């Protein structure tokens, strides 16, 4: 094989490789073209379905934005009002508790005074009524002893017992 045949074979192989490369590149170009068309179609479908939703959403936000701002403003004012009313209630409850404490102290002093007066009255009644009752009891015991000593009916036949009763009765006379 001579030099020219080798050169011709190399050129043929290079031409074959370039043709193969051209075919592969053409196949890649055709595949990319089909993919681009498919992506373009998908994007068009997505665009056609998403754009109305975006338009509706934009319109919704446009309509709702003033209402949301108004609602937020109203809620802020309501919170201020609640804080003011809570402060008023706190002050009122504080005053009410102070008044309840004062009234409780007043009622306690009134009840203490009434119970002290009742205690003094009961002591007076015991002193006033108790002393004459004890004296009357002593007089009755002495009369009983006198009647028994004079020979009145005795409870038992034992005279020794009667003597002890008479001795005990004398201690009761005031």
Top-confidence residue, 159 or 106: 106
Query: Of the given ranges (44-48, 93-97, 160-164), which has the lowest mean pLDDT?
Result: 160-164
Query: How far is 6 from 126, CA to CA, in rounded Å?
Result: 155
For the chain, the straight-line distance linking the first and the last C-alpha, in angstroms and rounded, comes to: 173
Task: Report the 10 Å Cβ neighbour count for 169.
Answer: 19
HSE, CB side, 13 Å, CA atoms: give it for residue 30.
Answer: 6
Mean pLDDT of the chain: 86
Query: Tens digits of per-residue pLDDT, 21-63?
Result: 999 999 999 999 999 999 999 998 888 888 888 888 888 888 8
DSSP class of residue 155?
Answer: S
- Position 170 confidence tier, pLDDT thresholds 50, 70, 90: low
Give yes or no for residue 77 having a pLDDT over 70.
yes
pTM of this prediction exceeds 0.95: no
Give yes or no for residue 165 having a pLDDT over 70.
no
């Amino acid at each position: 094989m001579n030099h020219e045949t080798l050169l011709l074979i190399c050129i043929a192989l290079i031409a074959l490789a370039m043709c193969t490369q051209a075919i592969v590149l053409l196949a890649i170009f055709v595949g990319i073209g089909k993919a681009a068309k498919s992506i373009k179609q998908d994007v068009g479908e997505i665009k056609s379905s998403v754009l109305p939703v975006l338009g509706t959403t934009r319109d919704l936000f446009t309509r709702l934005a003033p209402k949301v701002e108004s609602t937020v403003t109203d809620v802020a004012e309501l919170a201020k009002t609640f804080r003011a009313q809570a402060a008023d209630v706190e002050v009122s409850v504080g005053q009410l508790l102070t008044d309840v404490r004062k009234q409780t102290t007043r009622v306690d002093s009134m009840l203490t005074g009434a119970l002290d007066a009742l205690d003094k009255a009961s002591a007076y009644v015991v002193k006033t009524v108790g002393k004459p009752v004890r004296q009357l009891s002593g007089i009755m015991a002495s009369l009983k002893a006198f009647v028994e000593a004079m020979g009145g009916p005795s409870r038992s036949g034992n005279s020794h017992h009667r003597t002890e009763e008479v001795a005990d009765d004398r201690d009761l006379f005031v």
